[in-house]
Amino acid sequence: MSQLIYNDDMRQNDVKSALKSGMLRLLGKKEYLDITVTDLVKFSGVARASFYRSYSSIDDVLNDTCDDIKDYIVKTYKPAFSSKDEKSIVEAIDFFLKSIKQKTIKILEVLPENRKYLYLKFEQRMVFYKKLPYETIKDRYRAPVDLGIILSVAMTWAYNGFEEDSHQLAEFIYSLLIKE
């Protein structure tokens, strides 16, 4: 019996993964508010019934996708930024830039008008930063300012055709970040 449950869980995870991947690809082709369940299941190769076993709406898929992005970023980058070690931070920024260039992070494939939805959903996921007790204004706004700098420079770099070396750009970004 437990084997059957495990297999059902695996299939459920595969369905969710296909839908989230399909959502990101669809966001590169169609405006978010125009995406329907029919569009998503066709694009993802998932049965409509499987969609409704996993999610109740398109918004739920986008929320789950943003949760995955947040989890990935927190897991991958938070340790480097927590260390306050310049080398670790530069390496983390360089890794992030290379991930964009190699399309591991596919934000550039999302239509510009859809990026605002991703950003809003992602910002909602980062609310745990807002709930931490901060003693100074610098502490309260450091994370969003740093993230904004990194994302803005990364997007500009991508739009300019990745002209600069990622490591040199990571060092430049580090020089812009608010440091103590």
Predicted local confidence at residue 134, as pLDDT: 67
Average pLDDT, the chain: 81
- pLDDT band at 8; cut points 50, 70, 90: very low
Q: Could you tell me the domains of the chain?
A: 2-176 (1.10.357.10)
Q: How far apart are CA 79 and CA 135, in angstroms?
A: 21
- Contact between 147 and 155 under an 8 Å Cβ cutoff? The reply is no
Residue count of the chain: 180
Q: In this predicted structure, what is the pLDDT of residue 19? A: 95
| Secondary structure (DSSP) of 122-151 | HHHHTHHHHTS--SSHHHHHHHHHHHHHHH
Phi-psi label, residue 174: left if phi above 0, alpha if psi -120 to 50, beta otherwise: alpha
What is the pTM for the complete model shown?
0.70
DSSP 8-class letter at 31: -
Asked if the model's pLDDT at residue 152 lies above 90, the reply is: no
Determine the Cα–Cα distance for residues 47 and 9; give it in Å rounded to an integer.
16
Flag whether pLDDT at 30 surpasses 90: yes
pLDDT at residue 6, rounded to an integer: 39
* Residue 4 in this model has a pLDDT that exceeds 50: no
177-to-8, 63, 92, 149 alpha-carbon distances in Å: 46, 29, 13, 7
The stretch 24-35 carries a mean pLDDT of: 92
Q: Rounded to an integer, what distance in angstroms lies between the CA atom of residue 133 and that of residue 162? A: 38
Q: Which pLDDT band holds residue 42 (cuts at 50, 70, 90)? A: very high
Is the pLDDT confidence value at 7 over 50?
no
pLDDT digits (tens, 9 = 90+) for 95-147: 888 888 887 666 767 787 887 777 777 777 766 555 566 678 877 777 778 87
Q: Greater confidence, 136 or 32?
A: 32
Q: What is the C-alpha separation between 22 and 128, in angstroms, rounded? A: 28
- Continuous H helices in 1-126: 2-26, 37-44, 48-54, 58-83, 86-101, 112-125
Instruction: Please give the pLDDT value at position 45.
Output: 92
133 against 163, higher pLDDT: 163
**Spatial contact of 70 and 125, defined as CB atoms under 8 Å apart:** yes
Predicted confidence at residue 3, as pLDDT, reads: 44
For residue 84, the model assigns a pLDDT of 74
Q: Are the C-beta atoms of residues 70 and 47 closer than 8 Å to each other?
A: no
CA distance 31 to 118: 12
